[in-house]
Structures are given as C-alpha cells and as structure tokens.
Structure 1
Amino acid sequence: MSLRRLPTLTARIVALFSLTALMTFAGIGTYLYQSLDAQLKLRDDHELLGKVDQLRYLLSQTPSVEAIQKDPHRFYDATGKHEGLMVVLQSSGGLELMRSGLPRSASLPALSTIPADAEPSEEDLTSWKLDENASARVVAAWGKLQDQRSEVRIILARSNAELTTLLASYKKDVMFSMLAGIFFAVLLGYLVVRASLRPIRHIAAQARSISAQHLDKRLNASTAPGELQILVESFNAVLNRLQESFQRLSQFSADLAHDMRTPLNNLMVQTQVALSHPRSQEEYQALLGSNLEEYERLARMVESMLFLARADHAQIGLDWQKLDARNEMHRIAEYFEGVAEEKGVHCKVEAEEGVVVWADPVLFRRAVNNLMVNAIRYTPEGGTIHLRVTPGPDGQTISIINPGPGIDKAHLPRIFDRFYRVDRARTESASSTGLGLAIVHTIMKLHGGRAEVESEPNRFTSFMLIFPKQPDTIVVTGHMANNARDHAGVERNEAWQK
C-alpha cells in the first residue's frame, strides 16, 4: 500500500503565503472601495446642501414669484452645470415655477420641507428610488423672496448614476491591482522560500552522505540557521549514539566469536587427537569429560546471551517482593562458604536488622552471586570479603568489597560492558563467559537501580548495587519472567557444581 505523498514544505509555505496575500489585498481593496464610496457620497450630500443655500440666496434677490417665471435662467445657470442635479421650485400654493434635470412626467416623492429659517443638515436628506438601476438623494426646503414674506419651496435631488459609474471603474482597477499584487507576492514568496530553505537542502545533502562506513561524519551546525541549530545538534547526538552502539556491536561480535572459538577449538583439537589412533576406555572417558566442560561453558554463554537479549527487548517481568537484606546476605554467604574455604577466603556480613530491599528474589541473588564469584576469584588467601547493606533515603545499597589486585581506573568506565576483559589471561577459563558483570548491570536496570564500582589497585575493589526504595510499577509477565529466572538458576548452579 503506497502512502499519500504530502506536499513539500516549500509548497505549504507558498500556499500559506498566497492565502495571506489574498486576504491582505482583498481586505485592503475592500477598505479602499468602501472608503471611496463613503467619501464620494458625503461629498455629494454636502454639495447638495450647499445648493440649497445657493438657491435660497438667489430667491432672496428675487422680488416675486412672477419674476422667477419670467426669467428662470439664473436658476438654470446655478444648477445646470452639475450632471445629475435636479431642481424643482414651487410656490407656497403648490404652483411649479421651474424644473431642471427632471422630466415633467416624473412624480416627486412626499418630502418634509425644512423651514426657511432653519439650516439644512445631512439628516434632512432622503434616498429616492428613480428606477430599477438608479436612485438619488433628495431634500426639500423653503426659501424667502426679497420681500421676506413670500416663500418658495426648493426641491433638490442628486442622482447616483455618476457615482455608480465611477465606483464600477474603480472596482475594476482595484481587482486588477489586487490580482497583480497577489501574483507578484506569490512569485516573490516562492523565491524567498526557496532561498530560505537552501540551508535545509544543504543539511539534507550532508545527511545523505552519512552511511554505515562513514558514521564519523557530522552535520555542520555552523551553516544551519538558528531555528535549525537544535535539530542539527540533536541529529549529531543521534549519530554519536549510533556510532557508539555500532562500535560496541562490532566489538561485541568480535568478542563473541573469540569466546566461542576457544571452546570449539578445544573440542575439535581434543577430538582430532583422540581419533588419530585407538585409545583406551579411560582415555575416551577423560576426553568426554573434558568435552562436557566445554559444552557447559557454551551452554552458559548461550543462556546468558538469551537473558541479555530478553532484557534488551523488555521481555522480562519482575516478581517484586520485600526481601530482608540481612537474611539474603547470610544465605548468599552460606552458599559460597565451601568455595571460599577452599581458597582460604572469609565472608563477613555487615547489615542491620529490618532493612528491606524491593527486588525480584531470583534476579537479586543472581546479581549478588555474580559479584561474589569475582570477589572470591580475585581475593588473595586469608582475605575477607565484606557483604555490606547500607540503607539510604532513596534506596538500599548492597556492597561486595574484597581486597586484592584491584582494577585500574582506565577500565572502570567499561567494566560492565559485555565480554570486556580487564585481564584476558586471568579470565579465560571454563567457568568464565565474560558476561557476569554485564548481567549484573542489566538486572539493576530492570529494577530501576544502578550498578557502580570503586577500586584502588593493590588495595580493594567495591561493587555496589543501588536498589530504589520502592518500585514505581510492579509488572509480572508470566512464563517469560519464569524462564528468565530458570535460566539464571541453571547458570548459577552449573558455575559451582565443578
């Protein structure tokens, strides 16, 4: 099933930029159009009111109604120069004295008339529907003749035909300017986005050059813009972890091959020597016994690898229990008592009563047992191994302290790595798989704790298991956890049956 291809970042930004430009230009164009419409209407209204004052002045210079009828040219001259302006003068008795710009057949609307001594205002203007396509603003006012007794009714109207034509033309210009502005804004935005995203393409080109054979390469953060600095640094950090893991995996594979090659070579050489000529029954039995030791070593190595693999994939659940730390230390000391006596080593438990450790009992004992194996192996004859429990505010610390040659500081950071050997000549034996301390470290990670080591050459070595005070969650995964504990028990028992 093919995934739908998402738009590129350039396309998204340009689309958003286009939408922004469209909304901006549309808003500006609408504002300009509405503003011009309002200003032109206001101008026409003021001009219409000014014509009322002008006609009132002309009437004040006219002696009588008959003079208007005889010589209306002054009034035509005052109004005829303005397109769309309509004028009607009526006597106080309703007699029409003159009409300009308005057909005789057109009927006038019913209007309230402004008194002769009142100034007209915008509130006195009324909209008048001329026909389906045109309308006008109209006002009616009284004006006094020269004798100040007779009055003439003035009706003025201004058609919006000219205004409508002007606004239609302006609207076309605004639309054309808006479309042209959007086009150039989008084009400019595309060029700007392309230029702005050039560092990303440069970083992508650097990333494409990184492969399994060139994990030492890193992205150049100095060429990345400020917004991408965190991304570049995070990617370089991922590469650092990947390179470190890759190197450890390569070293692990080499160490695993080396450790498995030794027992396999022993098996092949011993078998070839035995088959070179007939042997006695006792010699064959000795050969089979020797081969069995190598098989057991390989089996322990495989079981340890399976345990570590399951732990890496979170397939091991813990059977959390409250363990009495002092009792557990005494049980472990008794378990190793026979082996310790054979080497002339003593075990001493230093723990207060009532100290509780939250842990899986089998995995807890396995971790401590692995540390005890190393402690007994490297403690000189007559030395004492201390099994110490130290309570703390955040948890309990189990310490295995033994005198002896110690560990050089250069080895301490990698002491818990798989197959890491401080002294290969001393650790290549049938009972050693090179995974004991790695298993201890993994067990502590499963418990949410940690394993630490302190050592001074030719003085002492102290391994510390720091267990949390109480687990945040308690999870049991059934047979997977049981299998892990069974494997732990098998390896521990086989290591000490010899």
Structure 2
Amino acid sequence: MKRATASMSLRLVVLFGLLALVLFTAVGSYLSHSLHMQLEARDDEELAGKCRSINHLVEHAASLEDILTRRHLVLDTLSGHDQLLVRIARADGSTLMESHDPTRTAPGVDLSTIKIRSWDHIEALRMGDLRARYMASMPVTRSGEKAIVLVVRTASDRMLLLADYRADVWWAASIGTVLATLLSYFLVRSGLRPLRMMAAQTRAISANKLDTRLDLQAAPRELHEIVQSFNDMLDRLHRSFQQLSQFSADLAHDVRTPLNNLMVQTQVALGKPRSLDEYQALLSSNIEEYERLSRMMESMLFLARADNAHVVLQIQPLDVAEELNRIAEYFEGIAEEAQVRIAVAGSGVLHADATLLRRAVGNLVANAIRYTPPQGSISLEATVVAGATLIGVANPGPGIPPDQIERIFDRFYRADPSRSSASGSSGLGLAIVRTIMALHGGAASASSEPGKRTVFTLRFPEVPVSLPGKG
C-alpha cells in the first residue's frame, strides 16, 4: 500500500517550526554563554581584588601573630560577601586563621585540603558537588615571615541570577517557537494561495474547454515556468484532441462511403431478379469496395502499430538508384495510363528498411501520378547533403496552398476538400510516409509553388538511430 504524502503546507509549517526552534535555541545559547562569560569575568575581578586587599593587610602586619590580633580587618574585607572564604596559613601549611567555621558556615568545605596548583592566578576548583574558583598568593610580613593566602569563591549571586536568566531564555525560545509555527501556518496559506488559484483554474478545464489557459501574469514569478509548461501541455493536448476529433470524423466518413455503396448496390440488386452478368458486375463492384476497406484497415493498423513501437525494422544498406528504378518500373503501367513519365536520377547507398522505403516512396509516386497533368513528368532524385541521403519526388500540377503544407501529413487530411474518396485515396498515404520516416530517425517535408511544381523530400540520416521497435 502506497504511503500518503504529507501536504506541502504541513511540511513548510514543520520546517518553519524547526527553523524557529533552532534559531531561538542558538540565539538563547549565545546570549546565555556571553552573559556567563561577562559575569564570570566580573566575579574573577572581585575575587582578585579581595585577594590583593588581604595581601596588603598581611604585608603591613608586623608578624604572623599580628595578623591574628588584626583578624577583624580581614573579616571586614569580606563583609557582605558570604560566598568568599579566606584561609591564611603559615609557610609550613599550618592554618593561621580562616574566615569561617567549616562545621557551621560552610559545612563540607575544608580549605586546608585544597592543593594549590598556581600562585597569583585564578583557578577552577571542584569539591564534591561544589564548583568554586580560588586564587592563592604568598605575601611577606614586615618581619620577613611568609604567609599563604587562599581566597575561595564558593558561589556567586550573579551566577544564580544567570541560572534564572537561562530558564527565562528557554521559556522564551519555546513560546517563540510555538508562536512562529502558528504564524507560519497563516503565512504558508497566504503564500500558497496562487497554487490554490491554479488548482481551481485547472479543475475548470475539461475536454470541452481545452482552449482554457492558466493566467501567467497572475502567477508569482517563481511559478511562471510551471504555468508556461502547463499551458504548453494544454496546447499540445488541444491540438491532439482536435486532430483526434477530425480523425474520427474523417474515418467515419471514409468508412461510411464504401459501406453505403455496398448496401445501396446490394439493395438495388435485390429489388428485382437480375441476370447473371448483372450479379457478376455487382460482385465485381463490391470487391473493389472491399479492397478499399481492406487497404484502409491495413494502413490504420500500420499506423497504430508504429505509434506503439510494434514495427520491427530490418535496416540494411540499399542501392538508391536500384530501389528508385524498381519503384519506377512498378508504377510504369499506371503512369502510361495517366499519360505521364517517371524519370530517375541519382546514386548512392542509404541504410533503411527496404519494404518501408518502397512503401514511402511508392505513396509519394502514386500521389504525384494522381495530380500530374497529362504529358507531365515525375522525377525521382537522390542526393547526399551534409551526410544525409535525400530522396525527392517532384511533379508539376496544381500545387498545395502554403497554409496547408504543414497539415498534408495529417491522417485523413486532404488538401482538396472537394475531391471525394472515389479516386481511391484514403487520406492516409502521407501520414504513413511521415511515420515511416520517423521510424528511421529521418523526416518528411514538402514544398510547393501553386500551379507550378510540388516537391516531397525524404531525409534519411547517414547512420540509422536506435529507435523503439527497431530490430
């Protein structure tokens, strides 16, 4: 079972939502990190300042014992900063004083266990779950005694504020993402309105309204190529539908004529008893009509098979002069009866299916005999131009109007509407010629000067192309 595809609107809304989430998260993370760095820098400045102040008190003390008597000055330095802890130790590491009672003010924090990694630099410190920063220095009293001063920041009001800020940022990012997703839904619907208008226009197109076209000017510029392609497709469908309708009408007309002849002749013959000669004449006339129907059905079957790539070609090198002379000999009797001559010129070799080549050229010769006036001459000429072999069939006659040149290769089309099918033409000969040339990868064309000369040209490529149905 084929899985249903999500709508374009839903996909765009989801993408907008994801994009908003990523952008809000990125901006929030950047702002949070930037603020964290600024607050940490200020905390470090304050930590370094307190360490310098205590160093100053130590350096002005007469001795280490004097520091104990001036303990209140150290504690005054830390006044208002409960997160700052101070330990002053002797050079051998024994504690001289601490600013807090580990059992009461800072349980779990033992400054004597801290291993100092560097002097006069701020370092990060971790004691269990507690993250802290410290700075250590070694000032000297006036008596020359060295002391170890350790200042530790266990927490920061600024960092606690930052934690609340982060929570606000994530809430804002979440709410912003939801709002952006909801707004994107309406924006997407508004942006896709031209597509809905195009869909409404296409729904109005039917077999009876194939001349309707989408409004190119009303479509956004990004959709112009799609709209133009769709309109071009409608043009092709319209032309094909018109040709199909005309083909159906012509087919019905051409089939109805011999059928009516058969029915009328048979009904007349059955109207009263006839002689044997009359019945034989009737059967002979009926055979002619049957042969016309058979030729028409054979031509239609060939065109249908060619359209569906069911015609297998037997491509082989052919002597052009030999093939043209053979065709001229085949039509010699018909040409003499019509009082016209057939002249052959040219030489060379072309690659084609012999049977289809003879059929294509034969259709052109038969057509030329039909329109050539008595004592006229039909020429069959082969030339090589730009690597392609051209076979031309030219004849004098009434010619073809310029506005009908492009349509004469259509099925059942006749340049002379007044001419009935009684002449034996089914209107499929030139259509078969064009189909045969398409199977060979070539082309059929015509040029005409009304009242003077008409030339049909078959262009065979030097190397036959690989086409569907070709063997």
- Within a 5 Å distance, the mapping from 1:280-359 to structure 2 comes to 280-352=275-347, 355-359=348-352
Contact 2:440 2:465 (8 Å CA) reproduced: no
Structure 1 match to 2:264: 269
Q: In the comparison of the two structures, how many residue pairs are matched?
A: 466
Contact 1:29 1:174 (8 Å CA) reproduced: yes
Contact 1:390 1:397 (8 Å CA) reproduced: yes
Is 1:405 the counterpart of 2:398? The answer is yes
Deviation, 1:68, is: 2.6
Q: Which moved more, 1:196-205 or 1:33-42?
A: 33-42
Structure 2 match to 1:43: 42
- Within a 5 Å distance, the mapping from 1:38-117 to structure 2 comes to 38-92=37-91, 96-103=95-102, 106=110, 108-112=112-116
Call closer, same or farther: CA 1:49–1:297 in 2, change over 3 Å. same
Structure 2 match to 1:150: 145
Instruction: Find the aligned partners of 1:312 and 1:108 in 2 and give their Cα distance.
Output: 98
Is 1:180 the counterpart of 2:175? The answer is yes
Structure 1 match to 2:136: 140
Contact 2:39 2:159 (8 Å CA) reproduced: no
Call closer, same or farther: CA 1:56–1:412 in 2, change over 3 Å. same
Q: Kindly provide the CA deviation profile for residues 56-91 of structure 1, in whole angstroms up to 9, marking residues without a partner as x.
A: 222233333343323321111101321210012234
Instruction: Find the aligned partners of 1:31 and 1:59 in 2 and give their Cα distance.
Output: 42
Q: Which letter maps to 2:23?
A: T
Q: Which moved more, 1:167-176 or 1:194-203?
A: 167-176
Contact 2:309 2:469 (8 Å CA) reproduced: no
Aligned match of 1:253 in 238, 248, 251? 248
Is 1:385 the counterpart of 2:398? The answer is no
Q: Kindly provide the CA deviation profile for residues 320-366 of structure 1, in whole angstroms up to 9, marking residues without a partner as x.
A: 011110111111111111111122211111113xx111110000000
Instruction: Find the aligned partners of 2:153 and 2:458 in 1 and give their Cα distance.
Output: 99
Secondary structure class of the residue paired with 1:316: coil
Contact 1:297 1:430 (8 Å CA) reproduced: no
Deviation, 1:160, is: 2.9
Call closer, same or farther: CA 1:476–1:245 in 2, change over 3 Å. closer
Contact 1:86 1:102 (8 Å CA) reproduced: no
Q: Kindly provide the CA deviation profile for residues 340-396 of structure 1, in whole angstroms up to 9, marking residues without a partner as x.
A: 1122211111113xx111110000000000011111111111111111001112311
Deviation, 1:44, is: 2.2
Contact 1:403 1:459 (8 Å CA) reproduced: yes
Structure 2 match to 1:361: 354
Deviation, 1:427, is: 4.7
Deviation, 1:55, is: 1.0
Is 1:461 the counterpart of 2:444? The answer is no
Call closer, same or farther: CA 1:474–1:450 in 2, change over 3 Å. closer
Secondary structure class of the residue paired with 2:309: coil
Structure 2 match to 1:127: 125
Instruction: Find the aligned partners of 1:9 and 1:114 in 2 and give their Cα distance.
Output: 61
Contact 2:411 2:431 (8 Å CA) reproduced: yes
Instruction: Find the aligned partners of 1:101 and 1:33 in 2 and give their Cα distance.
Output: 33
Aligned match of 1:418 in 405, 411, 421? 411
Secondary structure class of the residue paired with 1:224: coil
Aligned match of 2:222 in 215, 227, 234? 227
Is 1:429 the counterpart of 2:422? The answer is yes
CA RMSD in angstroms comes to 2.1
Q: Which moved more, 1:23-32 or 1:366-375?
A: 23-32
Contact 1:404 1:460 (8 Å CA) reproduced: yes
Unmatched runs of 5 consecutive residues or more in structure 1: 479-498
Deviation, 1:477, is: 6.2
Instruction: Find the aligned partners of 1:458 and 1:404 in 2 and give their Cα distance.
Output: 6
Secondary structure class of the residue paired with 1:273: helix
Give TM-score scaled by structure 2 length.
0.94
Call closer, same or farther: CA 1:155–1:107 in 2, change over 3 Å. closer
Deviation, 1:128, is: 4.1
Q: Kindly provide the CA deviation profile for residues 137-165 of structure 1, in whole angstroms up to 9, marking residues without a partner as x.
A: 223222233x3523332121110364663
Q: Which letter maps to 2:284?
A: G
Contact 1:450 1:466 (8 Å CA) reproduced: yes
Q: Which letter maps to 2:288?
A: E
Call closer, same or farther: CA 1:474–1:407 in 2, change over 3 Å. closer
Call closer, same or farther: CA 1:228–1:475 in 2, change over 3 Å. closer
Structure 2 match to 1:486: none
Unmatched runs of 5 consecutive residues or more in structure 2: none
Secondary structure class of the residue paired with 1:363: helix
Deviation, 1:176, is: 0.4
Q: Which letter maps to 1:59?
A: V
Contact 1:138 1:156 (8 Å CA) reproduced: yes
Q: Which letter maps to 1:308?
A: L
Contact 1:274 1:284 (8 Å CA) reproduced: yes
